[in-house]
Amino acid sequence: MFKTIADPADCEVRSVIRFLNAKNVKPVEIHSKLVEIYAENVMTDGMVRKWVRQFNDGRTNVHDEARSGRPSVVNDGLVAKVNEKICENRRFTKRMLFDEFPQISKTVLHDIVTNRLNYRKLCSRWVPKMLTMSTDLTVL
């Protein structure tokens, strides 16, 4: 009995398909060999056939192709500008910040302030979240 491999990378499985296809192994046999080594739900028979067709049509890359998607508006320059505005006035509201950056949605601004810059509201001031367990206990 063969040793099974858990959680294989997609490109690893595709490489095996490409290799076996180059040896003229039929897609059904490729699928059965994959199931034998990688477990039952590694890839469906239809997906194996799809990849065999793509490799027969000349595809050589086993990695996913880049997908077009919505580009992110958040970059390091924008985060630095938001941080600069916060440092100018620690008593800002998110509405005031939104007025300064109208091209960015409120949700994205909230994400920048709370997740990227790690600011939290404290006594109506925005402060960096730097408290640790030891400093929390000394304050009490």
Q: Note the pLDDT of residue 47.
A: 93
What is the model's pLDDT at position 39? 84
User: In this structure, which amino acid lies at residue 116?
Assistant: R
What lies within 8 Å, CB to CB, of 11 at 6+ separation is: 62, 63, 64
Q: What is the pLDDT of residue 137?
A: 52
Helices (H), the chain: 10-22, 27-38, 45-56, 76-88, 94-100, 106-111, 133-139
**pLDDT tens-place values along the chain, 140 residues long:** 678 888 888 999 999 999 999 999 999 999 999 999 988 888 999 999 999 999 999 999 999 887 777 767 788 888 899 899 888 887 878 888 888 888 888 888 888 888 888 887 766 666 777 666 655 555 55
Q: What pLDDT shows up at residue 130?
A: 67
The residues near 18 (Cβ < 8 Å, ≥ 6 apart) are: 51, 55, 60, 62
What is the pLDDT, as a whole number, of residue 65? 82
